[in-house]
Every structure is written in structure tokens, then in C-alpha cells.
Amino acid sequence: MESPTGASLSEAGKRDVGATIEVRLADGSTVTLSRGATAADLVARNGRNRSGEAIAAVVDGRVVDLATALEDGAEVALVSASSAEGLAILRHSTAHVLAQAVLRLWPGARYAIGPVIDDGFYYDFELPRGEHFSEEDLARIEEAMRAIVAEDQSFVRQELSFDAALALFAGQPYKQEIIEAVRAGADELDASSKEAAAGGVSVYRNEAGSGARTPSDGAFVDLCRGPHVPSTGHLGHFKLMRVAGAYWRGDERRPQLQRIYGTAWPSEAALSEYLYRLEEAERRDHRKLGIELDLFSFPDEIGSGLPVFHPRGGLLRRVMEDYSRARHAAAGYEFVYTPHIAHKELFETSGHLQSFAEGMYPPMDLEGGQQYYLKPMNCPFHILVYKSRQRSYRELPLRLFELGTVYRHEKSGVVHGLTRVRGMTMDDSHIFCAREQLPAEIRSVLEFVLDVLEQFGLSDTYLELSTRPGEKAVGADEEWEEATELLRSVAAEMGLALVPDEGGGAFYGPKISVQARDAIGRHHQISTVQLDYQLPRRFDLSYVAPDNTRRRPAMLHRALFGSVERFMAILLEHYAGALPTWLMPEQVRVLPVAGDHQAYADLVAQALRGAGIRVAVEGADEPLNARVRRAKLAKLPYILVVGGSDVEAGTVGLNRRGSERPERGVPLDAVVAMIQAEIEARGSPEQARVLR
């Protein structure tokens, strides 16, 4: 908020007025400039602005316009369009051009805010007469923006008093509201910093040199903190992406504005690379792959967010679940099964109805006033397993595991493919242990989770620590603090970095979540480990300690896949559908060259099947090329083509996924052994490479 230049200005004023000033550059060198020189003069002197390279400057740690006059002794660094700061300025300036274009096309439109977001920007408008943007308008607006860029209008900064600014933005209630908010903020500052805040706001005018001065005579002016690129000619590599409704200040009680999203980049190459990235993400969309690979669907007849798995998807799911079960068994987990509905009282005891009711399906009312709820989480049920009899310290840690299906009533706007569903299966585990066992147990759980994820090819991971959520949290502050500190210290001991996520914890406790980066750089929250002192208390859990006293256990909630459905979606997108061989529903397809080779093809398939490999044979009813193509499109790891010479020699033609050239005459035994070894090794030799 405050303006550091305020101080240096007065300081500079006391100095002797010479003809030149000296400024220091980032590399430590000093440059002598004439008094009154600006950052732009420095750029010109360096001759470094040929392609709009430098678009702003950092003066004494503050990002400013190139037109800013430099003070003697200032430290100056230039901001290039491709740096993080530069990109933000570029996008923000493009947002201004968007607003100017919209005001040209819709005189009388009100404009609100136009901030920078990841990879782009948006601007919110209110059009006259309640008009709305349509998708077709985007092309017209872009055209108007390109005209403004061609005019190479300069962005000129001007400081205004609050009152002058309010007058300038007469008829722009959103701008006025922002000005009033800034004034209210400034009033809270003490006298000295109030002076620094200059008692007003800054605006930027776009001037084409025509002398136009106010919005009504054609020039554009926007309330803005800045900085901006020197002129619109520095922009141009942008694209408007979509329109959306958005509430003023994100508040649904306030007017809904019309938002336009856009993206902007320093070069055409960077823009098209970004657009390609979007296409790539679309190509990998698990909903699309689910149809192409015949894995699952969402029948309207069932309801939104409720998937069915087809045989191939079912097979994939079973392989995932079987592997999960095997690993859990080996790691000392015990398997339980619990029902899908329960009395209202259970969820009152657990606190779900108090803290999570909006995420739950409404109750089923039964005769006699009894109410049942669909379960939104497995924890209360596992707690009841613990509570079924008295527990001894000798049993702890008690690790209960279930692939438990839960139902959550997600709001209609947020359901999305398999990643946000209303019915899902959690690979849920609840570990009951003595408090002193917690550090060792958390550590072993984290090691277990990271190792299993790596087997699925998700090894680019980091951890996030989610702390106490604002109002929803239950439990005492000290306990939250203690639990949070425990998670922090275990992770630190293991040498794992923790990224903070303030307020992101569950209502009953803090959590560590494992975030995995996928093949195209997106990150997904996968596993979570939550520490909970609350539920053991609410359910009055206890165990008998060695000294024959009753003690309260602590609980760890742990999901590894998270939901099986969502994990499948992440894998599909990570691998673009080309799953590692061990996960692929069909691992090998045998193609006889002609009908004469059918019997040998069946023999080959039998040998593979005998080795536990999933294989199918496709006969020669269609040309070989067509069958190879179909198998490639199905992203099969191995295609075995067998013809006359193979029948004689006991060999196969081996066509591996991702390889351009097939190998001829490979002995059958060698192929069986190789594929078998690959399946056993799991992992992901091809690591999500892009396969077309």
C-alpha cells in the first residue's frame, strides 16, 4: 500500500541539484544519466529494447513504469516481458486493452476489475441494458483490441486525489466503490504513511496523441495501481478464451457481471505453445479416454456424478484394487467391511451432521421417525469396529482398511467426470494408536504411501501441510497446534519438504497431503494423512495400557488413492491412456497375417495366457494394416503379428507401443519372459510419453 518513493523524494530534494545522476544496476555497475532521466532512457542507452524486451523496471525494490524518473543513487533493474513480473504486467496491460475495446463497442458499459490470473487475465463488465456477451462477440472484441495495439497508444500514469478520481469515474459505480475502499484503507494509516500514500489513487490514460482527455471523447482511462507496458504496441500475442458470469467481488448477493477471460504472452511462439498445452490436456481428458477405451460411462438414467465401469474399466479397477489390497495386507492392515447407510445419531456423534451436512445426501425418513443417512465417510464405521470390544495396548497400532464406498452430494455445478463424483470408493484406512506411537506410525504411513504411488508411476511428488480451518474446526487450539507440529516434525525428520496450506485441514484435524505432478505439469492432491484427537473423544474410545489404566488412542485417517475413481482418472490423464503394461486391461493382441496362421496365433495366445498375461487374438477378417492400426489406437502395449515364417520357427513379430519399427522373428519364449518381467516390475518404463 505505501509508496517507498515518498521518502526518497524528499531526501533527494535536499540534495544538491546537479546535471547528472548515478544509478546502480543489478550487476553492481553504475551508470551516469542526465537529471530527470527515466528508466526508459536507461533502456535506450543499453540498446536493449529492440523487441520490446524490457517493459518495466524495478527501482529500489519496487516495480514501476519505464517512464518513471530515476533518482540519484537509485538501484535499477529492468523487467523483461518473459520474467514472472513482466508477464504479469503484460497480461494486466492486455486486460486494459480488453476493457478499452469493450467500451468502444458498448458505449456506456461499466467496467469493474481486470486482474492477472494464472496464464492470463480477465476483466469484468456490466453491459448497458442488461446485455450479455456471447461467444461470437469475442472475435469482434479481439479485432478492436488489435486496432488499439496497432495505434500504439501510450499508457500514461497520473496521480489523482480521491475526489478528483470520484469525479472522473462518475457513472462507474464499481470504480467508485474501489476508490472509496482505497480511501477507507488510507484513513486507517497513520499520518506519516498517509502522506506516503499520496492521499489519492493513480489512473492510467491511453493516449494516441490526439489530445483526447476523458472517456467521453474517445481516450481510455482506468483506475490502476500499475505498472504498465510503455505502450499498447508492446502487446499483441493474446487470445480471448471464454466468457463467464461472475459475481461482483465473488459475492452471490451482489450483481452478476460479465467476465471475459484471455491469455497473453510475450511472443507468438509462447502463445501457441500455451494453446498447444491446452489441446494436449484436452486430448488427455479422462472422460474422452474413458469412451475411447471403453472403460466407463455416466448414464443419465442413473444420475449426475455416478459412473458405471465397463468390463475393461472394471478390469483396470480390479488390478488397481488387488494391488492395493496386497500391499495393505503386507503392511499390516486388517480388512473390514461396513454398510452404506446408518442412523442419524451416528453422524451426530461423529460431528458430520454439524460440520459436513451440506455435503451429505438428505436423510431417508423411515416409519417410526427413524432417519438414515448415506455415509459420506468411512471413519465412524471403522470406529465402531474398534469399539466392538475392549482394546489392549498390545493390539496397537490397529490398522483398519476398507475399499469403502461413500456418497457425497456435490453441488450440481462442480461434478466433473471421475474426478468429482457423487458416489466413490475410498481406499480408506483408520489407524488407532497410542499417542507415543504416532511419530513412528506417521513416518511409516508416509513411506508406505510414497512407495505405492511410485509403483503407479507417480514419483514426482511433494507434500502439503493443511492447518486448522477457520470456523468449522472442532477441538481446542492447543491440540490443533500439537497435532500440526507433530506432522511437521515427522516430515522434517524424513527430509520431506512441506508446502503450507493454511486453513485447508478437515474439521477434526490437520493433514499432510501428497501432491503429485503429472506428465504435463499439473498437480493433483492424491493421498492424505490426517491426525485426529477429536473423534476418539467424541466416541469415547479407549484402550487398556500396560499399567492397567484406560487411555485414549489417537487416530490417523489415511487415504492412499483418495478415491479409486479419481485416482484412475489421474492415471489415465498422466499416461494419456497408454497405461503401463501391468495396468492395461488388454496387454497383448495377437494378429495372424492370414487365416492359415490362426491356429498358431491361438497357440501363442495360450502361451501368454499361461504366463498370466492378458491377451486377445484378432483373426484375419480384415487387412493386417487395419488391425494394426486399431490395436495402436487402443494403445496396446504389445502387438504380435504372426505369419508363415513364425509358424515354422516358433517366433513372433513384435510391435511395441511407442516404437516405430517392429522386430521380426523374436522367439516366443523370449517375448513371454520379457512381458512377464515387465508386468512384475510395474512402474512405468515409458513414463507417460505422448503416444498418438
Partner RNA sequence: GCCUGGGUAGCUCAGCCGGUAGAGCAGCGCACUCGUAAUGCGCAGGUCCGGGGUUCGAGUCCCCGCCCAGGCUCCA
Choice from 29, 51, 134, 549 touching RNA (CB under 7 A) = 134
User: Footprint of RNA on residues 48-67 (CB under 7 A)?
Assistant: none
Indicate the DSSP class of residue 152. T
**Residue 642 contacts RNA per CB under 7 A:** yes
Question: Which lies closer to RNA via its Cβ, residue 507 or residue 638?
Answer: 638
Question: Which lies closer to RNA via its Cβ, residue 444 or residue 598?
Answer: 598
Q: Tell me which stretch binds RNA (CB under 7 A): 38-46, 390-398, 606-614, 628-636.
A: 628-636
User: Footprint of RNA on residues 508-527 (CB under 7 A)?
Assistant: none
Exposure class string for 667-683: b at 16+ Cβ within 10 A, else e: ebeebbeebeebbeebe
Least distance (Å) between residue 629 CB and RNA: 3
Q: What is d(CA 293, CA 142) in angstroms, rounded to the nearest whole number? A: 38
Least distance (Å) between residue 122 CB and RNA: 8
> Are 503 and 469 within 8 A, CB to CB?
yes
Q: What is d(CA 426, CA 339) in angstroms, rounded to the nearest whole number? A: 14
Binding mask 312-351 for RNA (x = CB under 7 A): ----------------------------------------
Choice from 281, 434, 624, 674 touching RNA (CB under 7 A) = 624
Least distance (Å) between residue 137 CB and RNA: 8
Burial class of residue 57 (count of CB atoms within 10 Å of its CB; 0-12, 13-18, 19+):
buried
**SS3 at position 104:** helix
Question: Which lies closer to RNA via its Cβ, residue 493 or residue 669?
Answer: 669
Q: What is d(CA 570, CA 565) in angstroms, rounded to the nearest whole number? A: 9
Nearest to 535 by CA among 346, 363, 340: 346
DSSP string of 13-41, one letter each residue: HHS---SEEEEEETTS-EEEEETT-BHHH
**Residue 182 contacts RNA per CB under 7 A:** yes
**Residue 655 contacts RNA per CB under 7 A:** yes
User: Footprint of RNA on residues 431-450 (CB under 7 A)?
Assistant: none
Question: Which lies closer to RNA via its Cβ, residue 243 or residue 320?
Answer: 243
User: Footprint of RNA on residues 562-601 (CB under 7 A)?
Assistant: 593-596
**What are 77's strand-pairing partners?**
58
Q: Tell me which stretch binds RNA (CB under 7 A): 11-19, 67-75, 126-134, 346-354.
A: 126-134
Q: What is d(CA 532, CA 475) in angstroms, rounded to the nearest whole number? A: 10
Q: Tell me which stretch binds RNA (CB under 7 A): 177-185, 322-330, 390-398, 510-518.
A: 177-185
> Are 494 and 461 within 8 A, CB to CB?
no
Choice from 104, 325, 340, 416 touching RNA (CB under 7 A) = 416
Element (H, E) at 624: helix 624-633
Say how many residues make up the chain. 692
**Residue 605 contacts RNA per CB under 7 A:** no
Q: Tell me which stretch binds RNA (CB under 7 A): 367-375, 399-407, 505-513, 617-625.
A: 617-625
**Residue 424 contacts RNA per CB under 7 A:** no
User: Footprint of RNA on residues 223-242 (CB under 7 A)?
Assistant: 223-225, 242
**Residue 628 contacts RNA per CB under 7 A:** yes
**Residue 633 contacts RNA per CB under 7 A:** yes
**Residue 157 contacts RNA per CB under 7 A:** no
Least distance (Å) between residue 317 CB and RNA: 20
User: Footprint of RNA on residues 193-222 (CB under 7 A)?
Assistant: 201-203, 222
Least distance (Å) between residue 660 CB and RNA: 8
**Residue 161 contacts RNA per CB under 7 A:** no
> Are 94 and 121 within 8 A, CB to CB?
yes
Residue holding cell 492395461?
A: 584
**Residue 250 contacts RNA per CB under 7 A:** yes
**Residue 413 contacts RNA per CB under 7 A:** yes
Question: SS3 for 38-78, per residue?
Answer: EHHHHHHHHCCCCCCCEEEEEECCEEECCCCECCCCCEEEE
Q: Tell me which stretch binds RNA (CB under 7 A): 332-340, 487-495, 552-560, 635-643.
A: 635-643
Q: What is d(CA 238, CA 136) in angstroms, rounded to the nearest whole number? A: 17
Q: What is d(CA 589, CA 383) in angstroms, rounded to the nearest whole number? A: 47
